[in-house]
A and B are shown apart, each in its own frame.
Chain A
Amino acid sequence: MSDNTTTETVTLTVDGQDVTVPKGTTILQAIDQVGTEIPHYCYHAGLSAPAMCRLCLVEVEGAPKLLPSCVTQATDGQVVHTESENAVGMRRGVLEFYLVNHPLDCPVCDQSGECKLQDYVFTEGRERGRSREPKRIFGRDDFGGDVLFYGDRCVMCTRCVRFMEEIEQKPLLTIVDRGTRSIIDTFFERGLEEAEWGGNVVDICPVGALVSKDFLHKARAWDLKHTPSVCGSCSQGCNIDLHTRDNLVHRIKPRFNADVNGHWMCDYGRGNYEWLNRSDRVEEPTFVDDGRAVQLGWDATLEALEQRLAGVTGGVKAVVSASWSNEDLGAVAKFVESLGGGEIVFRSARAEDESPLKGFPSLARRRDLVPNIKGAELLGMTRVGGDEGRGGLEGVADHDGLIVVLGDDLADQDESFGSKASLFVYLGAHTSVGASAAHFTLPVSTFAEQKGTFTNHEGIVQEFLPALEAPGSARPASYVISSLVGAPA
C-alpha cells in the first residue's frame, strides 16, 4: 500500500489559464482558485447552491448553453470562459434585470460601499438601464432581532432563507408568493427575535435588503477601518473584524475561519461591543504619595512602584480577568513568580447553557462568556466566584501583603477592597470604586487596543490586532509589568 493520500484531481482551463483542482470541485471554485471572481449572489460558500441568481453563468466549450458555475463540476479538459462575449453579455443582461425594480437608493443605503449589486453593476453593468416602467414597491419590514428588511433592495438570492434553514436550522424566514411578487418574509409577526444567530443574515445579504438596526445610518462602509480580531464574548474565539471609525467600534463582523467559526458568529457576540467604547477609562498612571494622588507620567510612576515593591511583605495575591491576552496574563504570572509566587485567581461569567449552531457543529456560544479562560487555566490560574462573575474575592480583599489586579473591574467590591494591603496595584481599563484603595492605578489597554492572543476553548491560540488607540497613556499590561519584572528589585 502506498501512503499516497492525494485525492484525484482534474485539470481545466479558465480564461486560458490551466488550473488543477480536486475532483468534485465546482467551476466557480476553480475560477476562484485562478484568482478571478465570478459575480454571484445566491451562491455562498457556507450554504447550498440553488443556482438561481444566474449571474455566475460561464461559457464552457462544447456546452449548448451557458452553465451555472456554482453547481457545475469541473471536469478534466474543460475549457471555461468567464470573459467571452457571450458570458459578459449575459451578465450585463442579468444585472440590468436586477435594476428594473431596484430603488437605486444608494445614498441612503447602509450597504452602499460594500454592496455587490453596486460593485457588479459598476464593473460590468450597462451604463444606463433601459427600463422606463414604474417600479414595484414592497417597503420596509422589521424582521425582529437586530434585522431590518428593505424589500425593494432584495435580489431574491435566498441566502437568508437558506441560512436559517440549513445553518441555524430554525426556518424563521421564507419566500412568500411567487414570481415577481415574491418576497422574503417571516411568519407574520413571528420573526428573528426567536433566533440566536440571526445577525448572520445581514452579513450574507449581498445587498442592502437586510440591514442591522444597531448599525442603521451610523457610518458609511468606506469610512470604517477593518481590523482582524477575535471575539471577546465567549471562549469559542470566533474570528472577527472590528469595524471602527473615530476610535469607536461601530460593529463586529465575523471573519472566516474554517476550524473555529466558519463564516458565522452569534448575535450575543456581535452585539457585545459597547464596553470597548466605554469612556470611564483609567487614562493616566496614578500613585499615592504621602496620601496624595499624583500623576507624574509612566517613568516616575514605575520608578516609585519599583521602590515600593522592594519593601513589600506578606506575599502576593493577584486577580486577573480572562478578557486579557495570554501575553498580559503571562506577564502577571511571571511577575508573581518573580516575587516568590502566590495565588492568581480570575472570575468569569458563565451562561446556563451552550447555544450551539446546529448546521456548524463546532461552533457554539460557549458557557464561558470571556475569551481567554483556557489561556488563564494553562497559566495555572484558578477560577473563583459564581457563574455571574462576581464574588470569590473574600481571601483577597483583606490581604495584607501585595495585591495585583489586572483587568477585573472589581464591580462587586467597595472602597474597602485592598485597604489592608501593604501594596495594592490596579492595572485597569476602567475606573472602579473597588480600586479606590489602590496605591498604584495603572491604565492598560483592552484587547481591542493592542496586539495579542487568546486561547480558545479547544486550545487554539489566535491573534488579534489593535483596532483602537488606547486612551491617554494606557498601554498593554504586558509592557507595564515586564518593565517591572526586568527591573532590579
Chain B
Amino acid sequence: MTDGVPFKNPGWAGNTGEYELTEAQVRGHDYVGTRPRDGGHPAGAGSYPYMLVERHPDAPLFEGPYLERFNKIKTRYPDLRATLLPTLNLAQEVRGHVSPQTMDEVASLLELPPAYVRGVATFYTMYNKQPIGRFLVQVCTNISCNLCGAEEVLKAFLVYADTELGETSQDGNFTVIEAECLAACGFATCVQINSAYYENLTAKGVPELLEHLKSQVGADGEGEGG
C-alpha cells in the first residue's frame, strides 16, 4: 500500500499524537522495499507472505523464481521433512489454496507420504483447504478485541461484504472468518486482510475499508496483500 491512497487506516500510531509516522514507516515497507521474487538471501527465502490477492491454482510447483526459492529453502534445514511448512507456504503463495492435488505434489517433491502431508496441512489453520475470496478478512474476536467491540466489527464486515461467516461474497472479493488472537491486542480491534493487519478498527470504519479494498481490485489484476 502506498501513501497516495486516500484511505487512512485509523490505527496508526501517528494518530495518537505521539509519533509522526507514515503508514509505510509503521508497516516497515519503507525499509523492506520490494523483496526479490527469487527469495534473496536463503536465510529469508522461506519467509514470504503467502496470503495474496493474485492466485494461479493451476501454476506448477515450482518454476522460475519460485523454484529458486524452493531450492534455497532446502539448503536451510537438515532434512527434507523440515521444509514441509515453508514448501506448503510457497505452494499457497503460488496457488492460493492447498488442494488435495497440491498436497500430493508437495508430498512427492519432499518424498513424504501424501497422507502425512494431509495430516500436517490440516493441523495449521492458515492453509486454505479450498479456494477463498480475493481478500481473506480475519477478524480477531478474542478477548482483548472482544472487549473493544470486535463482534460488532465482525458483523459489520458480514453486512457490508454481504456474506456469511466462512463464506465468500458473490463478487468473489471477500471471505470473512473469525480469527484467534492476532497478537495486536493493544490495537483492538485487529483485522488481518490477506497479509496485512488493520488495527484499531471499529464497526463504523468497515464500509470505508471495504471500499478501499475493492478499489484495489481490477486495475492491475493484483492488489494489496503482498
A-side residues, CB < 8 A to B, are 170-178, 185-188, 190
How far is A147 from B122 in the complex, measured between Cα atoms in Å?
Answer: 23
> A171 and B113 in contact (CB under 8 A), knowing A176-B119, A177-B123, A178-B122?
yes
Task: Find chain B residues with CB under 8 A from A177 CB.
Answer: 122-123
Once the chains bind, are B100 and A174 in contact (CB under 8 Å)?
Answer: no
B110-144 Cβ-contact flags toward A at 8 Å (1 or 0): 00011110110011000000000000000000000
CB distance from A179 to the nearest CB of B (A): 10
How far is A121 from B119 in the complex, measured between Cα atoms in Å?
Answer: 30
How far is A185 from B123 in the complex, measured between Cα atoms in Å?
Answer: 13
CB distance from A149 to the nearest CB of B (A): 13
Once the chains bind, are A176 and B113 in contact (CB under 8 Å)?
Answer: no
Residue from B115, B116, B119 whose CB has the most chain A CB atoms within 10 Å: B115
Once the chains bind, are A190 and B123 in contact (CB under 8 Å)?
Answer: no
Once the chains bind, are B116 and A176 in contact (CB under 8 Å)?
Answer: no
B-side residues, CB < 8 A to A, are 100, 103-104, 113-116, 118-119, 122-123
Which of A170, A175, A188, A190 makes the CB contact (< 8 A) with B119? A175
Once the chains bind, are B115 and A187 in contact (CB under 8 Å)?
Answer: yes
Q: Closest A-chain residue to B100, C-beta based?
A: A188
Once the chains bind, are A185 and B118 in contact (CB under 8 Å)?
Answer: yes
Task: Find chain B residues with CB under 8 A from A186 CB.
Answer: 115
Which of B100, B103, B113, B123 makes the CB contact (< 8 A) with A172? B113
Once the chains bind, are A173 and B115 in contact (CB under 8 Å)?
Answer: yes
Once the chains bind, are B122 and A171 in contact (CB under 8 Å)?
Answer: no
How far is A187 from B103 in the complex, measured between Cα atoms in Å?
Answer: 9
Task: Find chain A residues with CB under 8 A from B113 CB.
Answer: 170-172, 187
Task: Find chain A residues with CB under 8 A from B123 CB.
Answer: 175, 177-178
Task: Find chain A residues with CB under 8 A from B100 CB.
Answer: 187-188
Q: Closest B-chain residue to A173, C-beta based?
A: B115
The 4 closest A-B pairs by CB, nearest first: A174-B119, A187-B115, A187-B114, A174-B115
The A contact surface, by secondary structure, is strand
Tally inter-chain residue pairs, CB-CB below 8 A: 34
Task: Find chain B residues with CB under 8 A from A188 CB.
Answer: 100, 118
How far is A177 from B115 in the complex, measured between Cα atoms in Å?
Answer: 12
How far is A187 from B119 in the complex, measured between Cα atoms in Å?
Answer: 9
CB distance from A190 to the nearest CB of B (A): 7
Task: Find chain B residues with CB under 8 A from A173 CB.
Answer: 115
Q: Closest A-chain residue to B112, C-beta based?
A: A171
Q: Closest A-chain residue to B104, C-beta based?
A: A187
CB distance from A317 to the nearest CB of B (A): 53
How far is A172 from B113 in the complex, measured between Cα atoms in Å?
Answer: 7
Task: Find chain A residues with CB under 8 A from B119 CB.
Answer: 174-176
How far is A177 from B103 in the complex, measured between Cα atoms in Å?
Answer: 14
How far is A176 from B114 in the complex, measured between Cα atoms in Å?
Answer: 12
Once the chains bind, are A176 and B104 in contact (CB under 8 Å)?
Answer: no
How far is A174 from B119 in the complex, measured between Cα atoms in Å?
Answer: 5
How far is A186 from B114 in the complex, measured between Cα atoms in Å?
Answer: 9
Enumerate 18 A-B pairs (CB-CB under 8 Å) in ascending A order: A171-B113, A173-B115, A175-B119, A176-B118, A176-B122, A177-B122, A178-B122, A185-B115, A185-B118, A186-B115, A187-B100, A187-B104, A187-B113, A187-B114, A187-B115, A188-B100, A190-B114, A190-B115
Residue from B116, B119, B122, B123 whose CB has the most chain A CB atoms within 10 Å: B119
CB distance from B119 to the nearest CB of A (A): 3
How far is A187 from B107 in the complex, measured between Cα atoms in Å?
Answer: 11
Once the chains bind, are B118 and A171 in contact (CB under 8 Å)?
Answer: no
Task: Find chain A residues with CB under 8 A from B103 CB.
Answer: 187
How far is A174 from B123 in the complex, measured between Cα atoms in Å?
Answer: 11
How far is A177 from B104 in the complex, measured between Cα atoms in Å?
Answer: 17
How far is A175 from B117 in the complex, measured between Cα atoms in Å?
Answer: 10
How far is A330 from B115 in the complex, measured between Cα atoms in Å?
Answer: 51
Which of A174, A178, A190 makes the CB contact (< 8 A) with B116? A174
Q: Closest B-chain residue to A176, C-beta based?
A: B122
Task: Find chain B residues with CB under 8 A from A178 CB.
Answer: 122-123
Residue from A177, A178, A185, A187 whose CB has the most chain B CB atoms within 10 Å: A187
Q: Closest A-chain residue to B125, C-beta based?
A: A178
CB distance from B142 to the nearest CB of A (A): 16
How far is A365 from B26 in the complex, measured between Cα atoms in Å?
Answer: 66
